[in-house]
């Protein structure tokens, strides 16, 4: 179960980074923005791994011998993408007004990685539904806090969160591959 908690922390870093960016740019309605980010990001980060898990279960019989390698590959790609994104400007720079539509698009964008990571739940001996709840709740909490962190400190922590999340995902992939 420790793998799930670490996976949840790593996956939530993308939403945390976006929440920091949004909080730093839109610090006037911090409490409502924090709740909006937490609900959208937490819900999507919790649902997408379940979709990935169910898809992975459907094809597991065909790829069972390669499942650990595929899980490693997916986590390495997701981690690499997060590391790359930590070195570039975030999309929240261009957002002038935060609407429900904008939040929906941001939630989908930040949770696509979680869907791919959901496949890794097929190779871990964990309850996938509980795992998705843990991922969703963790992301909810980090997203809520991220808006306040951004409103108070600016964006200096934003890229560091994504970088750390990417590194952790790659390390989880290595653990799956080697053990």
pLDDT tens-digit readout, 127-145:
999 999 999 999 999 999 9
Rounded-to-integer distance, Cα 105 and Cα 167, Å? 25
pLDDT at 179: 73
CB atoms within 10 A of CB 7: 26
Q: What is the pLDDT of residue 119?
A: 84
Distance of CA 133 to the CA centre of its chain: 13
Which residue matches tokens 């990935």? Answer: 52
**How many Å apart are CA 67 and CA 58, to the nearest integer?**
12
144 half-sphere exposure, CB direction, 13 A CA radius: 12
| Entry pTM | 0.82
Q: Does position 43 have pLDDT exceeding 70, yes or no? A: yes
Structural domain for 27, as ranges: 2-178
Number of domains in the chain: 1
Using a pLDDT cut of 70, give the percent of the chain over it. 93
Tokens representing 122? 């097929």
pLDDT digits (tens, 9 = 90+) for 68-91: 888 888 888 888 888 887 787 655
């Amino acid at each position: 179960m420790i793998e799930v908690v670490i996976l949840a922390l790593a996956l939530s870093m993308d939403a945390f980074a976006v929440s920091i960016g949004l909080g730093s740019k839109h610090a006037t309605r911090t409490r409502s923005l924090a709740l909006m980010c937490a609900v959208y990001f937490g819900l999507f980060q919790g649902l997408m791994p379940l979709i990935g898990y169910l898809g992975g279960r459907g094809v597991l019989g065909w790829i069972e011998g390669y499942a650990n390698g595929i899980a490693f590959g997916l986590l390495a790609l997701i981690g690499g993408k997060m590391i790359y994104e930590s070195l570039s400007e975030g999309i929240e720079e261009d957002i002038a007004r935060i609407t429900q539509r904008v939040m929906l698009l941001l939630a989908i964008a930040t949770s696509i990685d979680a869907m791919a990571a959901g496949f890794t739940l097929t190779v871990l001996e964990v309850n996938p539904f509980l795992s998705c709840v843990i991922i969703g709740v963790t992301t909810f909490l980090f997203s809520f806090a991220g808006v306040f962190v951004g409103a108070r400190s600016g964006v200096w922590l934003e890229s560091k969160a994504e970088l750390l999340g990417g590194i952790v995902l790659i390390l989880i992939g290595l653990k799956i591959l080697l053990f």
